[in-house]
Structure 1
Amino acid sequence: MVTTLLVVVVILAVVFDFINGFHDAANSIATVVSTKVLTPFQAVLWAAAFNFLAYFLIKDHKVANTIAKTVHEHFITMHVILAGLVAAITWNLITWWFGIPSSSSHTLIGGFAGAGMTNALYMGSAAITAVNIKSILTIAAYIFLAPFIGLLIAYIITIIILHICKNARPSVAERWFKVLQLISSGALSFAHGGNDAQKVMGIIYVAMFTSGIIQNGAPMPEWIPLLCYSAIALGTMSGGWKIVKTMGTKITKVTPLEGVSAETAGAITLFITERFGIPVSTTHTITGSIIGVGLTKRVSAVRWGVTINLVWAWIITIPISALLAAAVFTLMHFIG
């Protein structure tokens, strides 16, 4: 039974990673598509290639380690992992259907934590004892910190670029920024792959430890990152056009110069947080960066009504994912 469950969990983890790719494709390609630097088809191929490139260059897997320790091992079972994945996939598909750029990362974390807390209740412990409070508080803080950091960096980069290019001919500058946007979108896609694929690696690693196939603290088998990076790259190639429209046009009008600033700021933020093993949301980060770019023009350049709706979606993602996971785990508990 454990072996069968492990296979099911790995399959669902790969499905989640694939959905993560097409759900979050907008993060990497929204600005490069909206500025017409690349066609949608060219953009998803470009982003997918850089998603997968992270497999060859990122080997420390600190984010995966953080995710694996979100729930204390005493409360982790294969059913907990399974319920968390089912809840995460469900919420990701719902938000994709309605074109809401919510966080795949926080969906997975909320599902995993919600299932673990429910299991703690059935074991006679307080729900809160199941989760690593420090990790959860750090993740929750970065719901707001990640977009703010992206906003601040994007604002500063845009101001610097505007100052440097103030005497440049607009037509020449635009051509250069279209070329630079290829580089910045590639960097953002690389950071996206390196950050988001690791979250599923952490879940699969925990599942293998829980099933007794590997010992706690053992090196991660090489097939896990290869599988996860492949799945997220293939998902990105599938695109997520409803969210591309929201990210690329509804927050603020984006030019090639501003696209370079937003993508560069997003990539820098993700590289920094990955370095410290903090599982932040790529969606939150790039949204904050786009807002920062809009603020360099004027406050009214940002469509704040859309932005406020996005923030509400971010806030409810973890609790809704946790509740969905609790319901799924409870159903499995009574079925047996």
Structure 2
Amino acid sequence: MLLILVIGTAIAFDFTNGFHDTANAMATSIATGALKPKTAVALSAILNLVGAFLSVEVALTVTNAVVKLQTSSGAPNPELMVNNGHELLMIVFCGLIGGILWNLLTWLLGLPSSSSHALFGGLIGSTAAALGFAGVNWMGDGTKLDGVVGKVILPAFASPAVAALVATIGTWLVYRITAGVAERYAEGGFRWGQIGTASLVSLAHGTNDAQKTMGVITLGLIAYGVQTDTTTVPLWVKVACAVAIAAGTYMGGWRIIRTLGKGLVEISSPQGMAAEASSAAVILTSSHLGFALSTTHVATGSILGTGLGRRGAEVRWGVAGRMALAWLITLPAAGIVGALCFWLGDSIPGYGGPLVVFAILLGLTGWMMAHSRKSAVHAGNVNDEWHSEVKPGASVADTETVSTKA
């Protein structure tokens, strides 16, 4: 039963990852009018589905980089494998709940936070609650930095900076090269370029984010004893995760699309193409190297870079500051939720603990979904004018009220 809960919860996380991160690929294309909102999310969903099958490097990072599956001698960790891996299954289950709840909360607030770091934070918290901080695979074998520090934390700081630098240079070059071209011709050409680069980001997102859930499910299968190979992912796991993230992507995640597309920088088509090309380059490179970075951090860094690279562009640093704060607290916040869920689930004997924790997840999810309807953001209003006085995720009605008062 616990294995079934783990697999179901993992697929649910994958679904939330999809609608939480649609903005990373399509926010700028929607904001500039290069693609209609519903067309954009449909295209992104298809390419996420395809991208999920292109690599397994990130999935293997998730399987091996967070929890110490082996002792220093290379033998299976006996603390994890008791009673068909019950302890490890609980760690994975509670870590997923931490990731899902943080995804839903930041979506409700319209904050482009990292689904990846929410997942890793939840897993780190539940692992620490079960085994102590020594049970977390912080450094790997100490030579390749293939643990949490090398594969998760360092890329978290480096990736947005690299993406911002690449996008800044790219935007400056774009405007320099097209300085003598009539604006109407340049805009039309760059909108077609945006469609191509946004498609590439969607493909890259599938190669990075869909695999994280593949790695989690594989970890659950290892815990139960039906999977022993830590270097492969079963085909049915690939298919399930690819379909789940594609379905979530098609849902849109309009609140976060609005924040990234309209709230951070007033973006034009040349900037949008530069941002998406920069994001795709960084994400695809990291996927090849097995770095489980945040596509949200990369996309946000790229969009900020386009504001810095275009003379006279407006960057809303207040919005950027709220995003940065959310980034900083994602790992510890999701970790606290994961730890609390483990302590609660472990304190109730038998299957009562996991069922109580799952019931809490359903209750909080239902509350946040109901609350979101009070300030709906959808395909019809996602491109309405942004007003800096309005908090992320506010409805169009709220925006009009502020405008009237101003």
What TM-score do the two structures reach when normalised by structure 1? 0.94
Hey, what does 2:93 align to over in structure 1? 82
Assess if the C-alpha contact under 8 Å between 2:47 and 2:203 holds in 1. Answer: yes
Aligned equivalents of 2:224 and 2:313: distance in 1?
54
Report how many residues are paired: 326
Hey, what does 1:130 align to over in structure 2? 136
Hey, what does 1:101 align to over in structure 2? 112
Hey, what does 1:22 align to over in structure 2? 19
CA shift, 1:315, in A, is: 0.7
1:303-328 CA distance string (max 9 Å, x none)? 11111111110010000111100000
Aligned equivalents of 2:311 and 2:193: distance in 1?
24
Hey, what does 1:124 align to over in structure 2? none
Hey, what does 2:239 align to over in structure 1? 226
SS of 2:52's equivalent in the other structure is helix
1:299/1:285 Cα in 2 relative to 1: closer, same or farther (>3 Å)? farther
Q: Post-superposition, which runs of at least 4 consecutive aligned residues in structure 1 deviate over 6 A?
A: none
* Structure 1 residue 119 corresponds to structure 2 residue 116: no
Hey, what does 2:60 align to over in structure 1? 65
Give the AA of the match of 2:60: N
1:256-299 CA distance string (max 9 Å, x none)? 11100000000000011111100000110000000000001248
Aligned equivalents of 2:287 and 2:178: distance in 1?
32
1:150-180 CA distance string (max 9 Å, x none)? 1011111112222221211111111111111
* Structure 1 residue 166 corresponds to structure 2 residue 208: no
Assess if the C-alpha contact under 8 Å between 2:279 and 2:299 holds in 1. Answer: yes
Aligned equivalents of 2:22 and 2:134: distance in 1?
34
Hey, what does 2:42 align to over in structure 1? 45
* Structure 1 residue 237 corresponds to structure 2 residue 250: yes
Hey, what does 2:339 align to over in structure 1? 326
Assess if the C-alpha contact under 8 Å between 1:102 and 1:313 holds in 2. Answer: yes
Give the AA of the match of 1:6: L
Aligned equivalents of 1:218 and 1:100: distance in 2?
35
Give the AA of the match of 2:188: R
Aligned equivalents of 1:307 and 1:290: distance in 2?
10
Aligned equivalents of 1:300 and 1:194: distance in 2?
32
Q: Work out which of the two has the higher radius of gyration on C-alpha atoms and give 1 or 2.
A: 2
Q: How large is the RMSD of aligned CA atoms in angstroms?
A: 1.4
1:244/1:315 Cα in 2 relative to 1: closer, same or farther (>3 Å)? same
Assess if the C-alpha contact under 8 Å between 1:250 and 1:303 holds in 2. Answer: yes
Aligned equivalents of 1:67 and 1:131: distance in 2?
11
CA shift, 1:131, in A, is: 2.7
CA shift, 1:53, in A, is: 1.5
Assess if the C-alpha contact under 8 Å between 2:265 and 2:313 holds in 1. Answer: no
CA shift, 1:130, in A, is: 2.8
CA shift, 1:137, in A, is: 1.6
Assess if the C-alpha contact under 8 Å between 1:116 and 1:131 holds in 2. Answer: no
Q: Aligned runs of 1:244-255 on 2, under 5 Å?
A: 244-255=257-268
Hey, what does 1:33 align to over in structure 2? 30
Give the AA of the match of 2:149: L
Identical positions, percent: 36
Give the AA of the match of 2:251: S
SS of 1:301's equivalent in the other structure is coil
**Larger RCO, structure (CA 8 Å, separation 6 or more):** 1
Aligned equivalents of 1:280 and 1:254: distance in 2?
25
CA shift, 1:300, in A, is: 6.8
Q: Which piece of structure 1 moves more, 271-280 or 47-56?
A: 47-56
